[in-house]
Structure 1
Amino acid sequence: MRAARAAAPPAARRAAAIAEGPRMRLAPPPPDIVIAPRHEHEPLLRALALSLSALERQSALVIALSADPLEGAIDLPPGAPNAMDRAQLQAAAPLYFAAELEAAGLLPTAEQIAGLFASGAIVQPLGPGAQLINTFWRARRERLDASERQAIFARVIETPYFERLMAGLCEAIVAQADGGDLRERVALETACGALGEFLALRMDPMATLAARDIVANINLALGFLRDRMLQAAFAVNSLWQLVAVAGTQQGLSASGVQRRVDQGRAGQTVLLWLAEHYADAAPRIAADDYELIGAAQRWLSGRDAAPAPAAAPALSAAA
């Protein structure tokens, strides 16, 4: 047998060796890569979670400062930023976010829907969302009403002064995208000081309590406004469409509503950065801080592209 193999041509010997040797086995395929689907309202919910977290930090910081016997013991020049200013500014960012959601009509929509539900005007089945609406309706006398919310927003985020100062800060932040020279760093410091002082003078304890109340109620309202069964009851298929048809006062399309929300998200990011760096003598921004620089640019773009209001139909349940 061996002699026969030796006498065989080389090609035949190789074929015989392959046939007699162990068979080749393919390696098992790599495990599947599972990419979690992105939630439809992920940016909105993330911004809301950021608001709630900022208000919790603000509350903890105020308690810590109140218990510090040295806080306020040193006389600072008038207008000089202090730790309490930073604490107050922590609440200014969520309040601005809430103001933009109010302008978009989110809480007014929730209140109108809750009223329709309580009156029996909504006859379609709503599933678990019905309990959330009922809870929201029963707590109506415990929260700030629309006129009270507007009064707080108008006092703290006073237009056109806030808009002008906010635009100056956002422009100074965007200018840091290329590193920034001395002149641009001075402009950033000046813009931080101007807007920080403006808000610190207006964020009194009442405004802080209002921010907590409004953001908490936004959280409750989103619990049922995002429900598909509720949206179907009003013949719409998205949260923004539901808010857009809430009444003639807002007069925004679904895309216009979402632009106001995006404006609030971007502004909140900028204002939270301001709260952290308001007291810095020479605040700096890394050129690769894309989140902050992008938020500042989006705020400026949203301000320039704000659409003119258009009439919208009153909210009514589908037949």
Structure 2
Amino acid sequence: MRLAAPPLPIRVPPARRDAALLLALELALATVQAPAYARAVAGIDFDLPDAAPAPEDRTRLEAAAPLYFASALERAGLLPTAELVAGLFASGTITQPLGPAERLLHDFWRRRRERLSAGEREAVYARVVCDPQFEPMMRALCEAIGAQAGPLPPGASGLREQVALATHAQAMAAFLAQRVDPMAVMAAREIVGDINAALAFMRDRRLQAAFAVNDLWRLVELAGSKAGIPTGSALQHVERGRSGQGVLLWLAAHPGGAALALDPAAPQDVEVMVAAQRWLASVPAGAPRAPLYPQPALPLVA
């Protein structure tokens, strides 16, 4: 009896390094590089809205999403560490050959005076997504999204949950529309581009080997610690930024109404439900909550 040949070995392709981070960056780039975004930046009104956002304010809301993602990467220490590494390369401290990464490092260092400084980036974040009111409102919005994830009890219409979601979505949209000024819209595009440029060399294996590490975030932690850059919980910041960006992009498309319904069977709705739940999982214990009936983000003058 002749035995059959053994089956070919199954080769499982390795997971793409930093895949989740790169997908989130791709989404941020797609947002700030969209033709509609560019047209809106060119013709945006420099007068801030004083009421609930109108349809033309969608660009402001869309800009808040990559800004939130960028602020999370800032907390993780990505751009400050990239600037430090580029400076070390320019000064000749890094002597190992780095191949194509050398040109990327050179270009990043050469453009250092054209980029927003760390202080300027922080000022943008502070106005838009690091305001004390933002976190409680974001938590309330994510909880309202998550409330529609489960099946309804028999006989329930879900109207209460839909109205609650619409209320919190409208409050957050009004809050962001009042704070995302034209400079923030333009800054979002610039900062996301800088993050993309930084990751192009920070993920390079030869550069990581020059610091005796084999991981992007280990490089951030090592290089940042030597310069006093706080980089703790980098991956937690990244996950929080990814999830928050997803929720805020959904908000830009659904800024509010009489009621908002999510369908747990619809893939696009499941995506925002998962993002909201992941964001909530990253909230520190004891974080403040938004009021049940949110007030206008800024007092309106008659």
- TM-score bracket relative to the smaller structure: 0.7 to 0.9
Q: Does 1:230 align with 2:194?
A: no
Alpha-carbon distance in structure 1 between the residues aligned to 2:129 and 2:13:
38
Mapped partners of 1:32, 1:60: distance in 2: 48
SS in 1 for 2:282: helix
Could you say if the C-alpha distance between residues 230 and 305 of structure 1 is closer, same or farther in structure 2, counting changes exceeding 3 Å? Answer: farther
2:148 to 176, 200, 212: 176
State the alpha-carbon separation in 1 of the partners of residues 105 and 86 from structure 2: 6
CA displacement at 1:304 relative to structure 2: 2.4
Any stretches of 5+ residues in structure 1 without a counterpart?
1-25, 307-319
Find out whether 1:80 has 2:52 as its counterpart.
Answer: yes
Distance 1:264 1:158 in 2: 12
Deviation at 1:125, TM superposition (A): 1.7
**Equivalent residue for 1:48?**
25
- The CA deviation string for residues 81-115 of structure 1, in whole angstroms up to 9 with x for no partner, is 31222121111101100010011100001000011
CA distance in 1, matches of 2:241, 2:50: 31
Pick closer, same or farther for the CA change 1:61–1:147 going to 2, 3 Å. Answer: closer
Query: Distance between the aligned counterparts of 2:217 and 2:206, measured in 1?
Result: 15
CA displacement at 1:159 relative to structure 2: 2.9
Partner residue, 1:252: 231
- In structure 2, relative to structure 1, the CA distance for the partners of 1:62 and 1:117 (3 Å cut) is closer
Match of 1:139 among 104, 107, 111: 111
C-alpha deviation, 1:283, in angstroms: 1.8
Indicate the residue corresponding to 1:110 in structure 2: 82
Aligned to 1:23: none
Which aligned segments of 4 or more residues in structure 1 are displaced greater than 6 angstroms? 28-34, 64-67
Q: 1:232 to 1:287 in 2, by over 3 A?
A: same
Mapping of residues 225-304 of structure 1, within 5 Å: 225-245=202-222, 246-247=224-225, 249-253=228-232, 256-288=233-265, 289-304=269-284
Contact 2:41–2:185 (CA under 8 A) maintained in structure 1: no
Partner Cα separation in structure 2 for residue 228 and residue 259 of structure 1: 23
The C-alpha deviation readout for 1:158-190, integer Å capped at 9, x for no partner, is 332100100000000111111462221111011
Q: Which AA in structure 2 matches 1:140?
A: R
Secondary structure of 2:283's counterpart equals helix
* Cα distance in 1, alignment partners of residues 111 and 40 from structure 2: 31
Partner residue, 2:122: 150
Which has the higher Rg, Structure 1 or Structure 2?
1
Aligned equivalent of 2:191, options 200, 211, 214: 214
- Matched-pair contact (CA < 8 Å) for 1:110–1:225: yes
Unaligned runs of 5+ in 2: 153-157, 287-302
Structure-2 residue corresponding to 1:120: 92
Percent of pairs with identical residues: 52
Deviations 1:181-229 (A, max 9, x none): 2221111011101111111111111001100000000000000000111
Write the deviation string for residues 5-56 of structure 1: whole angstroms up to 9, x where unpaired: xxxxxxxxxxxxxxxxxxxxx9x99999775432011111110010011113
Give SS of 1:176's match: coil
TM-score for the superposition, normalised by structure 1: 0.78
